[in-house]
Amino acid sequence: MLQHKINEQDKIPSFFDQFLLRYMQDGGPNASKAYEWFRSILSSKVNRFTDFKIRSEENCIFSNHARTDGMAEVLSQGTHGVFTWKDHIVFKSVFDLAIYSMLIEELKPDVIIEIGSGKGGSAVWLADMIKILGLKSQIYSYDINKPDFSYPGVSFIEFNLNNLNEYVDFPENENWVGSKLIIEDAHVNIPNVLNKIDSKVGKGDYLIIEDSDGKQNDLFNFLKNTKTTYLTDQHYLDLFRRNGTSATNSIFKIG
């Protein structure tokens, strides 16, 4: 199986492949553990979409935790500084940036909805990825503190998420038309945010809940009560290790 993977990479082994080969060739208990870990990771590609509850009850074979390596995520935004793009701070992990670039190319969304603008750097980066890929997606980015600049393809919208309720909706939500990539990164009023999103998604759309370690209970409650099918996309969740993303078990494709 590992050789087949390497052959698909033009017969060039990755760092991960070389790591596994070394332990497998050495033999002993480490060889067995390396093999089982590889089978587990490969399963995330073969069995790409799965139920949130089922996935949440499983741990990484290597670490026996939800993540293979929590410290990697801690370091992934930068240490002595943070990742920047065009002089804008982008508060995203480098793993998430890679995942978004691949997901956008696959999904080709008509709109990207970013809930939580921060300093605006991530919206700028997303807009540039859209341009590089030859797409024409429009980005709507919401925050209580609207970034003080404009950028082509991005609509920064000032909005207090705490105001969301049964009667108050996202401004300009009527423009959320076509295929959608929705990124929740605001950490505010989560139940109402998720319920509003739920009323707008369609089959094939993606919802990503960033920094979700502390949002698991909200996700359980939301998914338990919605009639919409949200499937965790293990291909992206485990591309860089088990839950190698800020979105622990929370990259969802709507089924």
Query: What per-residue confidence (pLDDT) applies to 25?
Result: 83
CA distances (Å), origin 239, targets 136, 150, 182: 27, 33, 20
Report, in angstroms and rounded to the nearest whole number, the Rg of the chain calculated over CA atoms. 19
Nearest in space to 140 (alpha carbons), one of 126, 128, 129, 160 = 126
Query: What per-residue confidence (pLDDT) applies to 42?
Result: 87
**What is the identity of the amino acid at 171?**
P
> Where do the domains of the chain lie, and which CATH numbers do they carry?
2-42 (no CATH), 49-254 (3.40.50.150)
Query: What per-residue confidence (pLDDT) applies to 31?
Result: 84
Q: Which residues contact 148 (CB under 8 A, 6 or more apart)?
A: none
Query: What per-residue confidence (pLDDT) applies to 172?
Result: 97
Q: Which residues contact 175 (CB under 8 A, 6 or more apart)?
A: 111, 138, 140
Query: What per-residue confidence (pLDDT) applies to 40?
Result: 87
Determine contact, residues 110/180, Cβ cutoff 8 Å: yes
Q: How far apart are CA 115 and CA 195, in angstroms?
A: 14
Q: Is 77 helix (H, G, I), strand (E, B) or coil?
A: coil
Query: What per-residue confidence (pLDDT) applies to 107?
Result: 98
Q: How far apart are CA 73 and CA 144, in angstroms?
A: 27
Q: Spell out the alpha helix ranges (H) of 59-174.
A: 70-75, 94-107, 121-132
Predicted confidence pLDDT, tens digits, the chain (255 residues):
888 889 999 999 999 999 888 888 887 777 888 888 888 888 898 999 999 999 999 999 889 999 999 999 999 999 999 999 999 999 999 999 999 999 999 999 999 999 999 999 999 999 999 999 999 999 999 999 999 999 999 999 999 999 999 899 999 999 999 999 999 999 999 999 999 999 999 999 999 999 999 999 999 999 999 999 999 999 999 999 999 999 999 999 999
Query: What per-residue confidence (pLDDT) applies to 29?
Result: 77
**What is the identity of the amino acid at 77?**
Q
**What is the identity of the amino acid at 19?**
F
Query: What per-residue confidence (pLDDT) applies to 183?
Result: 98
